[in-house]
A and B are shown apart, each in its own frame.
Chain A
């Protein structure tokens, strides 16, 4: 099985184009199918399957031999779970948080694993830099928080509270109502998905610029360029650590905002 790593793909492109540095662009995200015959099986799809397997196996194995004195593996699994349950669900949603912990936990681990694929050697592609995946995740969150709100308050009362926020002078509604409706039904799902997508996309592009730029400088016949190329690589390594931070942060923010929206739908008045 041959994984097409974007770096390799680029090197071939560079050699073919011959002269001049070709800066990485959106084309670098269009990866060809792994097997010619199966058109839908591209690298991001494979990574999604891999992340599902990894997450399930890790948590099943870490929880299987649960003991009062936890092993290292059990401790790791339980720390992640406790983080999502206590810091994200309980602090944000309040007393009814336990119902939403499974969803939030799945969301957090799934997004985190897929993000971190961006800096794992040989995988090196953040799945979420293809906008379709964040769209689907945001659609899930969108349906969950609206469903929760409608179940809790009834359809009409829920919509009324969105459109006409209580405790506001009447003339302000002319301005406020369109904004509130747009916020709840358009801005929230769009920004939720686009934030994750844009961060992963920009991060991957940034890494490509520095690593491929360094590679190009190293292969340049000019000696000065060769000497300067380690600076590009050093920056590439530093940015990889920065990317790791961003990837964790984005998984956290995605889950936190979902929890916030659920909390908003559950609250009696906004």
Chain B
């Protein structure tokens, strides 16, 4: 087997953004379910939040390959 421990570290560090992404979309779905007409207002906010949370996972990915 080849590979580095970095990738294991990346896997561990991806747990945080994964939970964050799940929570963001859970809140978005909740909001739309309660008030369907708010969808177009909530969608950009949800995706911006998702992008920020995923950015952290992507930092981890970059560092896993760079370090």
Contacts and interface: CB of A to CB of B under 8 A. Distances in A.
Interface string B26-54: 00000000000000100110011001001
Interface of B: 2, 40, 43-44, 47-48, 51, 54-55, 58, 61-62
Contacts of B54: 191, 195
Contacts, number: 31
Nearest to B39: A91
A190 B63 CA distance: 13
A260 B2 CA distance: 41
For the complex of A and B, the 6 pairs showing the least CB-CB separation, nearest first, are: A191-B55, A194-B58, A91-B40, A198-B61, A191-B58, A92-B44
27 contacts: A23-B2, A91-B43, A91-B44, A92-B44, A187-B55, A190-B58, A191-B51, A191-B54, A191-B55, A191-B58, A194-B58, A194-B61, A194-B62, A195-B51, A195-B54, A195-B58, A198-B61, A253-B47, A253-B51, A256-B44, A256-B47, A257-B47, A257-B51, A260-B44, A260-B47, A260-B48, A263-B44
Interface in A19-45: 23, 25
Interface of A: 23, 25, 91-92, 187, 190-191, 194-195, 198, 253, 256-257, 260, 263
A195 B55 CA distance: 8
A142 to B, nearest CB: 14
Contacts of A191: 51, 54-55, 58
SS class, residues of chain B in contact with chain A:
helix
A187 B2 CA distance: 31
* A25, A191, A198, A260: most-surrounded residue (chain B CB, <10 A): A191
Contacts of A256: 44, 47
A263 B48 CA distance: 12
